[in-house]
Amino acid sequence: MQPKIASKKVNIKEMKNQLVQYVEDTFVEKKDYPKFKAGDTITVAYKIIEGTKERIQHFQGVVLQIAGQGATKDFTIRKISGGIGVERIFPFNSPRITEITVNKRGLVRRSRIFYLRGLTGKKARIKEKRG
């Protein structure tokens, strides 16, 4: 009869997650943006580089969702431009984002408001949070 040896099972996934978390905490630059959530109207100022020239462009719209966590966290903004809906996904840790300003706080009950895609005109309005 062989003696039982108490061995610790090494969880590779857990070790991998800890390593990724360590790298994110030490090397990814965290920026201080104002708190916002789905339904808020925000303006994102981001750098556009064309050859040797740089300029800052503003994208103003309603936040549809905030997705991901840690270094992979991003947010989706939707605006209507020339009667056509335009959506853009911005990573929170993008070095190209120079500034985020919150224009209006929206009053919605969901964290992902994709139903706005099917609405037009007055129906697509979001109530503003008072106070």
Token look-up 């985020």 returns: 100
| DSSP letter (8 states) at residue 127 | P
For residue 19, give the amino acid letter: L
Q: Is the pLDDT of residue 2 over 70?
A: no
Among the ranges given (20-34, 45-59, 78-92), the one the predictor scored with the smallest mean pLDDT: 20-34
Distance CA 41, CA 89 (A): 15
User: Can you give the residue ranges of every domain in the chain?
Assistant: 31-111
Q: What is the pLDDT of residue 69?
A: 85
Q: Mean pLDDT score of the chain, rounded to an integer?
A: 88
Among the ranges given (35-39, 83-87, 120-124), the one the predictor scored with the smallest mean pLDDT: 120-124
Write the CB contacts of 71 (distance below 8 Å, at least 6 apart in sequence). 24, 28, 93
Between 39 and 25, the more confident residue is: 39
Q: What is the pLDDT of residue 32?
A: 84
CATH 2.30.30.790 describes domain 31-111: yes
- The closest of 102, 116, 105 to 42, measured between CA atoms, is 102
